Chains A and B, each alone.
Chain A
Amino acid sequence: MNVTASRERGRGLRQTLTRGGGVDRFRRQPLAVAALVFVVVITTVCILAPLLTPYPFDRGVLADTLQGPSARHPLGTDDVGRDVLSRLLYGGRTTLLAAVQATGFSVILGVPAGLIAAFAGGWVDACLSRVADAIMTFPALLLAVVIIGITGPGLTNAMIAIGVVYGPRLFRVARAAGLAVLNETYIAAAKTVGCSPLRILMRHILPNALSPLLVQVSLTMATAVLAEGSLSFLGLGVQPPQSSWGAVLGRSVPQMSQHPVPVIAAGVLISLLVLSFNLLGDGIRDSIGRERKS
């Protein structure tokens, strides 16, 4: 046996020996780890925003409007004299919360329905799947804009709309994962042991279908961040003086040629967060799958 093969085997052995080989595989993907770190750091910093920022997000000093970066204002000030860094940190809370709302809503909508469709099969599956297909034909942003048009501007409603439209994606992933798990012998074993259908669904199918769902959740987070950004950029999302990354971006675009820093900062943050969620999703996907046969 040559050296590479034996090293490969050693790694394989270590994988089977350490519990949760998936975590190990995740750790071996630098990009995914970096993405996870970025998401965690951003989330922490945004949550701690009131402690970290010396300035309020909603009140500016009119004497200090449109300043460039300085020691007092690292990213400058906006057109009403508010500190851009503070607004970005506070805004991150809105952006993340909105993304969590949208994703959470699509999870609540999609996952139970998907698992039930997989488990029940037959006409239940057919009905749920057709409903999911129908919802999927809606353009997410357009539906959000319509709902905002009806209910007035506000992020929560918009995010529910986004959540509804992205629900079918989670439905599909949950259904597919559920179907795969359903064919496993341990489901038959659970039936012979005498488990009720609900128990089989919650204790056996859900935990084993979780990994692909996690991937989809991460990808949906990315889309939701983008959706919030777009809506707030257009002024349909959070309303002044509330802040969000999209709002900061939208607010600073008119002065872009003289004061590019806020636009760049908000844009980079949004891009990095979206990228991170995507990389995170890819990373999780690459760490699962082989688990089953190990």
Chain B
Amino acid sequence: MNPILNLERVTVEFVRQRAVGRPRQVLHAVNEVDLEIAPGEAVGLVGESGSGKSTVARAITGLNPVTSGAIGVDGNSVLRAKGKDLRMLRRRFQMVFQDPYSSLDPSMSIGSTLTESLTVHGLERGPAAVERAADMLLAVGLRSADLAKYPHEFSGGQRQRIAIARALMTDPDLIILDEAVSALDVSTRAQVLDLLQGLRRDRRLAYLFIGHDLAVVQRMSDRIAVMYLGRIVEVGPADDVIRNPQHPYTASLLASVPQVGSRGAERAAELRRRLHVRADPPDPWNPPSGCAFATRCPFVMEMCRAETPPAVEIASEAVSRCHLATDAGRGTESEARWDRAREFLAMPSPAS
């Protein structure tokens, strides 16, 4: 099936010049990211803060300019579209932001906020628009009487429901949920997640679910992509990525999640011991050469510091950007390390 959204080698750079005369520095916030989302598919995007997750979202919605690469929607390039065409394309993917307290215009009633997208795209006006807004509020579990109210009259969870309703108003194919439940407390979070799953079922929505809570992302996603320092380092089916991570970074990310209850506690403790991530993440303005994770990787080999690992297909629909996933470590002086690391990560033997 044709993907509804297709990112090809998307790169977003930020440039800074600290002082006159100093060289300009370039930060690759997003570095050659490839990602496809099929209709109705939920893709999770995880990684620590600063890994570029949100920048990917902002690049898709046009909030951050893309330096190079292509973003395709049904064969149309978003990056070449301008003005009105672009806004029409954007209608098809909407976004829900992290902070429900600042994502709704405090000076606008909920009704105006919801009908605005209809007006802007010339879909519906007047009473018909209000009616659709009321239906949408019901769909996200609020009352139609809430149309006349203002954002400050609602709780965080309710506001996030309103933000979801706003995203749904243009009848999009894809909703980008940028840490959409991270600011909510646990009980509200569960309700909003249930709502999102229900909506996805009913409307055949695709999600790009960005988050740092791995359990939540696993629950919400069909596939998970893991980002580190602007690159996607591992992609695969959600359960596989969480249960059997193939990239050392994914493994260490999982090991750093405190376990509640005893299930898997032993394995987690072992992981934590082995994968205790050393040092802080590198300065993104001055990334290490070779693999970006080399400075912190427990399985680092010499070649990791020299060469950027290629994206290797490790299983069907699963990709890892790690030298461990290739044959490259074989026959080198670090072969023993390579073997142990692969064994530890429970990697299948590479086809040789």
Contact = CB atoms under 8 A, between A and B. Distances in A.
Contacts of A21: 152
Interface string B239-251: 0000000000000
A65 B7 CA distance: 88
A193 to B, nearest CB: 4
A177 to B, nearest CB: 13
Contacts of A294: 152
Given A185-B97, A192-B61, A194-B117, A204 B166 contact: no
A185 B88 CA distance: 21
A192 B94 contact: yes
Interface string B71-112: 000000000000000011011001101110111111110000
A194 B95 contact: no
Contacts of A199: 120
B153 A19 contact: yes
A196 B105 contact: no
A196 B106 contact: no
A184 interface: yes
Nearest to A193: B117
A186 B103 contact: yes
A210 B150 CA distance: 17
Contacts of B91: 194
A193 B153 contact: no
Given A192-B94, A194-B87, A194-B91, A185 B116 contact: no
Q: How large is the interface on B (under 10, 10 to 19, 20 to 34, 35 or more residues)?
A: 20 to 34
B195 to A, nearest CB: 19
Given A193-B166, A194-B170, A188 B97 contact: yes
A178 to B, nearest CB: 14
B125 interface: no
Interface string B26-69: 00000000000000000000000000000000100111000000
B163 interface: yes
Contacts of B87: 194, 196
A185 B102 contact: yes
A189 B151 CA distance: 14
Given A189-B97, A189-B166, A294-B152, A194 B90 contact: yes
Contacts of A191: 61-63
A189 B153 contact: no
Nearest to A186: B105
A192 B177 CA distance: 13
B102 A193 contact: no
A189 B88 CA distance: 15
A194 B338 CA distance: 50
Contacts of B99: 185
A186 B110 CA distance: 13
A196 B120 contact: yes
B101 A293 contact: yes
Given A19-B150, A199-B120, A193 B94 contact: yes
Given A194-B90, A196-B87, A207-B107, A188 B63 contact: yes
Contacts of A19: 150, 153
Contacts of B103: 185-186, 188-189
A193 B61 CA distance: 9
Contact of B170 (A16, A193, A210, A292): A193
Contacts of A207: 105, 107-108
A221 to B, nearest CB: 24
A186 B104 contact: yes
Contacts of A188: 58, 63, 97, 103
Contacts of B94: 192-193
A65 to B, nearest CB: 57
Nearest to A16: B152
A195 B116 contact: yes
A133 interface: no
A291 interface: yes
The residue among A193, A194, A199, A294 with the most chain B CB atoms within 10 A of its own CB is A193
A8 B345 CA distance: 56
Nearest to B121: A194
A135 interface: no
Q: Across chains A and B, which 9 residue pairs bring their CB atoms closest together, nearest first?
A: A207-B107, A194-B87, A185-B103, A185-B102, A186-B105, A193-B117, A192-B61, A192-B95, A194-B120
24 contacts: A16-B153, A184-B102, A185-B97, A185-B98, A185-B99, A186-B102, A186-B103, A188-B58, A188-B63, A189-B103, A190-B116, A192-B62, A193-B94, A193-B120, A193-B170, A194-B88, A194-B91, A194-B117, A195-B116, A196-B120, A203-B108, A203-B116, A204-B107, A208-B105
Interface of A: 16-17, 19, 21, 184-186, 188-196, 199, 203-204, 207-208, 210, 291-294
Given A192-B63, A291-B106, 5 more contacts: A192-B95, A194-B87, A194-B117, A208-B106, A210-B107
